[in-house]
């Protein structure tokens, strides 16, 4: 694809994605798309399958089936590190900061070569985006607050210069002030040209950042449309989202 | 005074070697979560390769040190090869399989080394320029050992730089903590692991090659060092380099001074030290709590009580077996007696693994306790056979109660290592306490009285006792006791939440299994007429594990079938070739590779695939 002709095909296309934990069938056939430069909110109650969807896209589930194509490539059979190197950045909900490593070292683990067509990041640039991190470069991940860890995981994933971010419940358990910062960070990333799939239970947070919403329940997508449409659809909200 | 100083320095020199080897082991474990039994074999190979190279070039310092370095690198390459060819396929397998696979490599390397270098002790050349000794407070101390003492901290420093100042080291530390997250960030775990195996194995090889001027190279180096290195790694905290360093120093000194105070039980001292450390500091001196303790055995489908005609199969089989003496000759009866004894041994181990999820690496201890208990009663008190046989399960049961009290306090790998430690304690008592146990000469003349001396009579006696015990074990599996054990295996937390004292049940199971193994040991002693320390040694424990693995963990009849298969295969192979270790090692490796998730996992995968299709 040449840079002159805009590519209208979605960056990420998920079709009939199924996944299992051991013998428990969790995803029953998820369909999703994320367009280039788009921010999509994956909404649903606790246990609806948001995390599982992201893990399955990343290749982190032992058993899965269905199609995942990213940037025109079928990635459904690739191991996680190959998927990551293609430009898919995963930010897990439980953060999974390397607690024994310093902030700088955590960033180093995420570092990948620059990728054409995606914003490229250096620790310096990330320290401007997340000023708190700059003050604690030498601190171990285990000695940071939850909010700081959340910023660090995001920054660490950005070091891989992804073109699409999978952000799993970034606002979960954070103080309102940090949630605010997080929303601003996501908007800044969108402005840089990044696409984002962000899972959320918090409707106002999703509304503040997302263009479109997909609502998942019991491992299937029950609603897909512009964020505005979801905000106006009381039935869907009452049925599938805890209000 | 000066004597103690020299003793202290000898301890430091031993600690340096121990640190080289155990640092490699702990690095490999930290990243791959695999306890590599073959690590000791890499040490031994390093010594053999070092010996050959030093014989050729070792007349000049450059040739000597070049030879040491080359031996180390070659062993490192072999370790990398093992990662690519074997371990890589096993990262998601139950630990039992990983341990067994690396033990298969131990056996293969044993025979390969024996083929290449023979079984004679090899004495190596001493390091040019470092042949003399220096006087330390008027006591001579070897110059070469001083170099070793200095090498320990130097290697620790270099490793520290590697892990803290290079990108590779940072990635390794990240993957040590969270392999999956590192992969999700684009780090190829496979490549990292190959590199780690290279480094770890090269350190073992280096440790081995450096021994050439100090001690004879022989085929026993592998097991003795790997067991010591396990202790160091467990005491220091699995995965902790500094921990390994501190533990090496402590254990080096413990050995250096222990030999002055308790020359008979230096080995026991080391393992006791480890058991005490683990009870006080569960994760070793500098280890950290495992975030997700690896599971020992994958939980299987529930056991189902056979119904209908199938219910009668064991009884029918027993009847058929009882009729065998009518047609079989003495040789067949001897082999069959051994099969029955081993079946009991395997079934008792299966009680722990299959029902309790407790992978014991030292089950031979209780087999040996039973065997030695019987033999010692006969030898020292001239006890009649029935009394000696009755004492076997009691003694083994008491031993298992004591060891079990410590072991069940830990789960997973730490449990396995503790059981191994207790088995080594039992083994070293049998091996070192010449006056009482006869040391490696064993105890001879443990024959049954006239009424049971015939092969057929002893076979029937064995069949009756083992069959009865097997029946009792089966009853226990289906009794509330068995269900409780399985509940604890599948989810200890949940079981505790509903008020089940998991640990207590595991402790009882440990004692029960030990006691049954003890009876098997007693029967074995009278069938052979003698006992030897090898009955309690690591290979015996591993044999029992292989039997359980061959038969499959998920059924109660599995261990019985596995024991029969294993023993027939072993007798067959041993009569055909002297390279039986090689064959057995390869069989283990092939088995593990064919069923990397265990037989049950294999069946489950098949089922999933059919469902999807
Ligand atoms: N490790 C696991 N093992 C078994 N089941 C799991 C595991 N993780 C999640 N589940 C189950 O999968 C379903 C979906 O979970 P998840 O994807 O985490 O939901 P969400 O992220 O939307 O809260 C839930 O029913 C949950 O109980
Ligand atoms: Mg979730």
- Closest-CA distance of chain A to residue B170, Å: 7
Neighbours of B447 (CB within 10 A): 17
> From edge to edge, which strands make up the β-sheet containing A39-43?
A88-91, A164-168, A195-200, A39-43, A212-217, A220-226
Say if residue B182 is exposed, middle or buried (CB neighbours under 10 Å; 0-12, 13-18, 19+).
buried
Q: Which residue has the higher pLDDT, B140 or B251?
A: B251
A157, pLDDT greater than 50: yes
The predicted pLDDT at position B488 comes to 78
| Structure tokens, B546 | 């292989």
Q: Which residue has 């800044």 as its token pair?
A: A188
A100, pLDDT greater than 70: yes
* Interchain pair B171, A109: CB under 8 A: yes
The predicted pLDDT at position A145 comes to 92
In a domain, A5, yes or no: no
CA dist B226 and B421 (Å) reads 12
In a domain, A2, yes or no: no
pTM: 0.85
Closest CA to B322 of B462, B460, B453, B457: B460
CA dist B175 and B169 (Å) reads 10
Cα four-point dihedral sign A162, A168, A173, A179: positive
CA dist B21 and B7 (Å) reads 22
Domain CATH number, residue A212? 3.40.50.300
The predicted pLDDT at position B605 comes to 60
Residues of chain A with C-beta less than 8 angstroms from the C-beta of B173 = 98, 100-101, 105
B612, pLDDT greater than 70: no
Tell me which chain B residue has its CA closest to the CA of residue A154. Answer: B185
**Which residues pair with residue A32 across a beta bridge?**
A14
Strands A88-91 and A164-168: parallel
pLDDT band at B295 (very low <50, low <70, confident <90, very high): very low
B610, pLDDT greater than 80: no
In a domain, A156, yes or no: yes
Spatial contact of B564 and B551, defined as CB atoms under 8 Å apart: no
Spatial contact of B400 and B368, defined as CB atoms under 8 Å apart: no
Q: What is the position in ligand 1's atom list of the atom closest to the CA of A216?
A: 22
* Interchain pair A110, B171: CB under 8 A: no
The predicted pLDDT at position B601 comes to 53
| Structure tokens, A236 | 């869907």
- Look up residue B353 and give its DSSP letter: I
- Look up residue B375 and give its DSSP letter: H
| Structure tokens, B88 | 């890589």
Cα four-point dihedral sign B87, B90, B91, B97: negative
- Lowest model confidence (mean pLDDT) among A84-93, B127-136, B231-240, B304-313: B304-313
pLDDT band at B613 (very low <50, low <70, confident <90, very high): low
Give the DSSP per-residue string, B328-340.
Answer: --HHHHHHHHHHH
Closest CA to B531 of B467, B602, B439: B439
Residues of chain B with C-beta less than 8 angstroms from the C-beta of A157 = 185
Residues of chain B with C-beta less than 8 angstroms from the C-beta of A156 = 185
Q: Under 8 Å CB-to-CB from B238, ≥6 apart: which residues?
A: B26, B29, B30, B283, B284, B287, B413
pLDDT digits (tens, 9 = 90+) for B92-113: 777 778 888 998 999 999 999 9
| Structure tokens, A47 | 């246990």
Mean pLDDT for the stretch of residues A43-71: 94
Q: What is the 3-state secondary structure (H, E, C) of B116-162?
A: HHCCCCECCCCCCCCCCEEEECCEEEEHHHHHHHHHHHHHHHHHHHH
The predicted pLDDT at position B431 comes to 87
Residue B108 C-alpha from the chain's centroid = 16
pLDDT band at A173 (very low <50, low <70, confident <90, very high): confident
User: What is the whole-number distance in angstroms between the Cα of residue A49 and the centre of ligand 1?
Assistant: 6
Q: Is A38 helix (H, G, I), strand (E, B) or coil?
A: coil
Spatial contact of A165 and A89, defined as CB atoms under 8 Å apart: yes
Q: Which of A26, A41, A58, A199 to mutate to test the pocket of ligand 1 (most atoms within 8 A of CB)?
A: A26
In a domain, A212, yes or no: yes
Q: Which domain holds residue A210?
A: 12-241
CA dist B594 and B601 (Å) reads 11
In a domain, A3, yes or no: no
Residue B592 C-alpha from the chain's centroid = 16
The predicted pLDDT at position B264 comes to 67
* Nearest ligand to the C-alpha atom of residue A220: 1
B309, pLDDT greater than 70: no
The predicted pLDDT at position B97 comes to 81
Mean pLDDT for the stretch of residues B327-352: 92
The predicted pLDDT at position B598 comes to 56
Strands B443-444 and B530-531: antiparallel
Backbone angles phi, psi at B301, to 5 degrees: -65, 160
* Interchain pair B173, A96: CB under 8 A: no
pLDDT digits (tens, 9 = 90+) for A114-154: 998 899 999 999 999 999 899 999 999 999 999 999 999 99
**pLDDT over 90 percentage in chain B:** 52
Quote the mean pLDDT of chain A: 92
| Structure tokens, B175 | 């993957």
pLDDT band at A1 (very low <50, low <70, confident <90, very high): very low
pLDDT digits (tens, 9 = 90+) for B262-293: 776 777 788 888 878 887 888 888 887 664 44
* Domain range list for chain B: 16-219, 328-537
CA dist A64 and A20 (Å) reads 6
In a domain, A82, yes or no: yes
Spatial contact of B418 and B283, defined as CB atoms under 8 Å apart: no
Mean pLDDT for the stretch of residues B331-351: 93
In a domain, A25, yes or no: yes
Spatial contact of B233 and B244, defined as CB atoms under 8 Å apart: yes
Dihedral (C-alpha) B468, B473, B479, B485: value to the nearest 10 degrees?
170
Spatial contact of B598 and B97, defined as CB atoms under 8 Å apart: yes
ipTM, two decimals, is 0.94
Cα four-point dihedral sign A220, A222, A228, A234: negative
**pLDDT over 70 percentage in chain B:** 93
Backbone angles phi, psi at B609, to 5 degrees: -65, -40
The predicted pLDDT at position B298 comes to 46
CA dist B580 and B585 (Å) reads 8
**In Å, how far are B42, B51, B216, B218, B221 from B119, measured between CA atoms?**
17, 14, 12, 7, 12
- Look up residue B90 and give its DSSP letter: G
Q: What is the position in ligand 1's atom list of the atom closest to the CA of A93?
A: 21
A204 shares contact with chain B (CB less than 8 Å): no
Query: What would you measure as the largest C-alpha separation in chain B, in angstroms?
Result: 83
**In Å, how far are A7, B159, B163, B403 from B348, measured between CA atoms?**
66, 43, 44, 16
- Closest-CA distance of chain A to residue B246, Å: 20
pLDDT band at B294 (very low <50, low <70, confident <90, very high): very low
Closest CA to B102 of B599, B553, B554, B593: B593
B90, pLDDT greater than 50: yes
Q: Is A59 in the pocket of ligand 1 (CB under 6 A)?
A: no
CA dist B580 and B111 (Å) reads 8
Spatial contact of B152 and B20, defined as CB atoms under 8 Å apart: yes
- The residue length of chain A stands at 243
Mean pLDDT for the stretch of residues B553-582: 83
Spatial contact of A32 and A197, defined as CB atoms under 8 Å apart: yes
Domain total of chain A: 1
CA dist B417 and B367 (Å) reads 18
B122, pLDDT greater than 80: yes
Q: Which residue has the higher pLDDT, B364 or B330?
A: B364
The predicted pLDDT at position B409 comes to 83
pLDDT digits (tens, 9 = 90+) for B513-523: 999 999 999 99
Q: Which residue has the higher pLDDT, B510 or B324?
A: B510
* Interchain pair B604, A23: CB under 8 A: yes
| Structure tokens, B364 | 């031979």
B214, pLDDT greater than 70: yes
In a domain, A6, yes or no: no
**In Å, how far are A222, B235, B455, B498 from B24, measured between CA atoms?**
53, 15, 50, 42
Q: Which of A81, A98, A101 sits opposite B186 (nearest CB)?
A: A81
A212, pLDDT greater than 50: yes
pLDDT band at B366 (very low <50, low <70, confident <90, very high): very high
Closest CA to B115 of B213, B219, B224: B219
End-to-end C-alpha distance for chain B, whole angstroms: 78
pLDDT band at B66 (very low <50, low <70, confident <90, very high): very high
- The residue length of chain B stands at 613
| B229 conformational bin, left if phi > 0, alpha if psi -120 to 50, beta if neither | alpha
**H/E run at residue B46:** helix B39-57
Number of H helices, E strands in chain A: 10, 10
Q: Is A47 in the pocket of ligand 1 (CB under 6 A)?
A: yes
Closest CA to B365 of B398, B338, B328, B333: B398
pLDDT band at A92 (very low <50, low <70, confident <90, very high): very high
């Amino acid at each position: 694809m040449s840079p002159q002709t805009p590519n209208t095909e979605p960056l990420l296309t998920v079709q009939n994605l199924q996944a299992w934990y051991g013998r428990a069938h969790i995803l029953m056939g998820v369909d999703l798309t994320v367009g280039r430069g788009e921010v999509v909110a994956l909404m649903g109650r606790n246990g609806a399958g948001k995390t599982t969807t992201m893990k399955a896209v990343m290749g982190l589930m032992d058993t899965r089936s269905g199609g995942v194509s990213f940037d025109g490539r079928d990635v459904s059979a690739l191991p996680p590190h190959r998927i990551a190197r293609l430009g898919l950045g995963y930010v897990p909900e439980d953060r999974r900061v390397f607690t024994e490593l310093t902030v700088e070292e955590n960033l180093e683990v995420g570092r990948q070569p620059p990728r054409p067509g995606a914003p490229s990041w250096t620790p310096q640039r990330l320290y401007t985006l997340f000023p708190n991190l700059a003050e604690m470069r030498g601190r171990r991940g285990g000695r940071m607050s939850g909010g700081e860890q959340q910023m660090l995981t995001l920054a660490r994933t950005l070091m891989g210069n992804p073109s699409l971010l999978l952000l799993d419940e970034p606002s979960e358990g954070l103080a309102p002030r940090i949630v605010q910062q997080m929303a601003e960070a996501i908007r800044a990333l969108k402005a840089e040209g990044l696409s984002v799939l962000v899972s959320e239970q918090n409707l106002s947070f999703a509304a503040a950042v997302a263009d479109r919403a997909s609502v998942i329940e019991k491992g299937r997508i029950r609603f897909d449309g512009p964020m505005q449409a979801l905000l106006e659809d009381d039935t869907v909200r009452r049925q599938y989202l805890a209000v | 005074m000066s004597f103690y100083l020299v003793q202290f320095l000898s301890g430091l020199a031993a600690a340096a070697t121990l640190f080289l080897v155990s640092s490699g082991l702990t690095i490999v474990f930290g990243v791959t979560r695999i306890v590599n039994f073959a690590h000791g074999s890499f040490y031994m190979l390093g010594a053999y390769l070092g010996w050959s190279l030093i014989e050729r070039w070792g007349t000049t310092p450059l040739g000597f040190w070049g030879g040491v370095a080359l031996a180390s690198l070659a062993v490192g390459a072999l370790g990398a090869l093992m990662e690519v060819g074997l371990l890589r396929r096993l990262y998601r397998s139950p630990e039992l399989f990983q341990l067994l696979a690396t033990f298969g490599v131990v056996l293969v390397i044993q025979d390969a080394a024996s083929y290449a270098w023979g079984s004679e002790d090899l004495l190596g050349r001493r390091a040019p320029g470092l042949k003399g000794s220096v006087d330390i407070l008027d006591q001579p101390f070897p110059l070469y050992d001083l170099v070793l003492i200095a090498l320990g901290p130097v290697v620790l420093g270099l490793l520290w730089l590697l892990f803290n100042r290079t990108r590779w080291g940072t990635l390794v530390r990240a993957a040590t903590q969270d392999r999956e997250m590192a992969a999700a960030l684009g780090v190829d775990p496979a490549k990292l692991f190959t590199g780690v195996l290279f480094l770890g194995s090269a350190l073992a090889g280096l440790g081995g090659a450096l021994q050439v001027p100090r001690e004879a190279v022989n085929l026993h180096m592998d097991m003795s060092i790997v067991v010591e290195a396990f202790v160091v790694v467990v005491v220091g905290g699995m995965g902790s380099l500094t921990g390994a360093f501190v533990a090496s120093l402590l254990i080096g000194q413990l050995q250096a001074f222990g030999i002055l105070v308790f020359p008979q039980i230096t080995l026991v001292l080391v393992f006791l030290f480890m058991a005490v450390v683990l009870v006080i500091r569960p994760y070793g001196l500098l280890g950290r709590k495992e975030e997700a303790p690896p599971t020992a055995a994958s939980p299987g489908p529930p056991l189902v009580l056979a119904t209908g005609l199938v219910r009668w199969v064991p009884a029918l089989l027993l009847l058929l077996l009882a009729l065998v003496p009518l047609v079989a000759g003495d040789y067949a009866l001897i082999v069959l007696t051994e099969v029955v004894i081993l079946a009991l041994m395997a079934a008792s181990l299966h009680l722990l693994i299959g029902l309790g999820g407790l992978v014991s690496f030292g089950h031979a201890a209780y087999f040996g306790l039973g065997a030695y208990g019987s033999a010692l009663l006969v030898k020292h008190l001239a006890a009649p056979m029935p009394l000696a046989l009755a004492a076997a399960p009691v003694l083994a049961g008491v031993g298992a109660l004591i060891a079990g009290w410590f072991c069940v306090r830990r789960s997973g790998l730490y449990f396995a290592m503790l059981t191994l430690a207790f088995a080594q304690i039992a083994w070293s008592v049998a091996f070192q306490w010449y006056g009482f146990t006869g040391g490696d000469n064993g105890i001879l003349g443990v024959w049954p009285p006239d009424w049971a001396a015939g092969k057929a009579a002893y076979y029937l006696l064995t069949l009756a006792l083992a069959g009865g015990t097997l029946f009792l074990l089966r009853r226990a599996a289906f009794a509330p006791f068995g269900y409780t054990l399985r509940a604890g295996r599948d989810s200890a937390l949940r079981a505790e939440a509903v008020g089940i004292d998991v640990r207590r049940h595991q402790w009882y199971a440990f004692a029960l299994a030990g006691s049954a193994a003890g009876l098997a040991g007693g029967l074995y002693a009278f069938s052979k007429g003698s006992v030897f320390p090898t009955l309690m040694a690591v290979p015996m424990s591993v044999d029992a594990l292989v039997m359980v693995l061959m038969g499959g963990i998920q059924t109660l009849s599995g261990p019985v079938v596995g024991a029969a298969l294993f023993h027939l295969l072993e007798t067959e192979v041993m009569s055909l070739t002297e390279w039986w270790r090689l064959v057995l090692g390869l069989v283990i490796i092939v088995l593990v590779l064919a069923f990397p998730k265990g037989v049950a996992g294999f069946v489950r995968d098949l089922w999933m695939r059919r469902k999807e299709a």
